[in-house]
Amino acid sequence: DGGITQSPKYLFRKEGQNVTLSCEQNLNHDAMYWYRQDPGQGLRLIYYSQIVNDFQKGDIAEGYSVSREKKESFPLTVTSAQKNPTAFYLCASSARTLLNTEAFFGQGTRLTVV
């Protein structure tokens, strides 16, 4: 079945460590996105990529890094520079078309930094 897979579902890391969240899609979508959700809040855009080997900062990119070496994969690294990394992270993808702008989401990764 086509979809977006995020792994792991739960992740614990010590403060000061970098951690990489995985996101893979087999929908043949060009665009991929990373969002962050904090308790009681909406989704905020961290980074997005419209095509392989290209990505742009979203609204809250500080302390994060990404890569887009393959169309199917868009990993997110939460670095030690991110002041409040504990959150629920959501990856999404969408087709690169004028007509269809619906984004499909993965099941999310809950990152807890202790």
Site for other proteins in 33-92 (CB under 8 A): 33, 35, 40-45, 48, 50-51, 58, 88, 90, 92
Closer to other proteins by CB, 65 or 88: give it: 88
Residue type at 56?
Q
Q: Are 14 and 80 in contact (CB under 8 A)?
A: no
Answer positive or negative: Cα dihedral of 41, 46, 49, 50: positive
Q: Is 31 in the site for other proteins (CB under 8 A)?
A: yes
Q: Residue from 4, 19, 76, 87 that binds other proteins (CB under 8 A)? A: 4
Render 33-58 in DSSP notation, one character per residue.
EEEEE-TT--EEEEEEEEETTEEEE-
Assigned token pair, 104: 């499909």
**Interface positions with other proteins (CB under 8 A):** 4, 6, 30-31, 33, 35, 40-45, 48, 50-51, 58, 88, 90, 92, 94-96, 98, 101-108, 110
